[in-house]
Amino acid sequence: NAEYMGHVNANNVPIGYGREDFDGDLAGGKLGLSFSTAENSAFNVKLDPFIWAAKKQHPIQSSSFQFTLRRNGKASLNVGDIDHSELAGPISWADENADKTFWRTSVLLNGNKIENAIVDSGTNVITGPNDQVKAVLDQLDGVWVEQSPDGTYQGRYSCQNPPKLSFTVAGQTFTLPSDAINFGYAGDKCFLAMGGTLGLNDWILGSPFMELGSVIFNYDTRRMGVAKAR
């Protein structure tokens, strides 16, 4: 079966179906944009992710895809090339990704070094090892650090005074917009879109991280690029 992403189509691409996403909202089909390493247990074959399949089947010449996420403006996913009209500055490229499963990169978060973090557009928060997340939360002005009954840490802040979260990626520094770090509110307090996890050693830089600008991935070079968005 052929699957379409905009004007690009590819055959034999694995699609998942879920009735609800992590927030309980209705969800349709889902497809992965990381690397394919696991065998499909039902058919005992390996299936390529959409972009790589489209490149091999020739609908596109470049194996790149580009996210430019905006909460209150036009968001875009560009497949097969780079839309330079979305960019407000030069592209900085991270080191080659050696992982065979996930897109990964090393960043600074408000000066704190995070090594080999997973970049995942399908995760709607930023998560990390519980103690490391608490250390970052403790440094943020105006953030109340709270511990859930399960022991994980998260932060709340005055919605009128959001904290500053800045990422340095491939030599460029980006400050997340206030909408990106807001994971909901209760009264005049907002929940920070970052929390600790137990039993997981990796940081996961979810969609709030990807609102830093325009984020570009290329399967051929296995590198991620970042640039300020217009």
Specify the pTM: 0.84
Q: What is the pLDDT of residues 165-177, one digit of tens each?
A: 999 999 999 999 9
The share of the chain scoring above pLDDT 90, in percent, equals 64
Instruction: Give every CB contact of residue 73 below 8 A, 6+ residues apart in sequence.
Output: none
pLDDT(230) > 60: yes
* Structure confidence at residue 41 (pLDDT): 40
Q: What is the pLDDT of residues 34-50, one digit of tens each?
A: 776 544 444 454 677 77
* Structure confidence at residue 54 (pLDDT): 81
The number of CA neighbours under 13 Å toward the Cβ of 88 is 9
Q: What is the pLDDT of residues 60-111, one digit of tens each?
A: 778 889 999 988 778 998 988 899 999 999 999 999 999 988 999 999 999 9
The number of CA neighbours under 13 Å toward the Cβ of 162 is 19
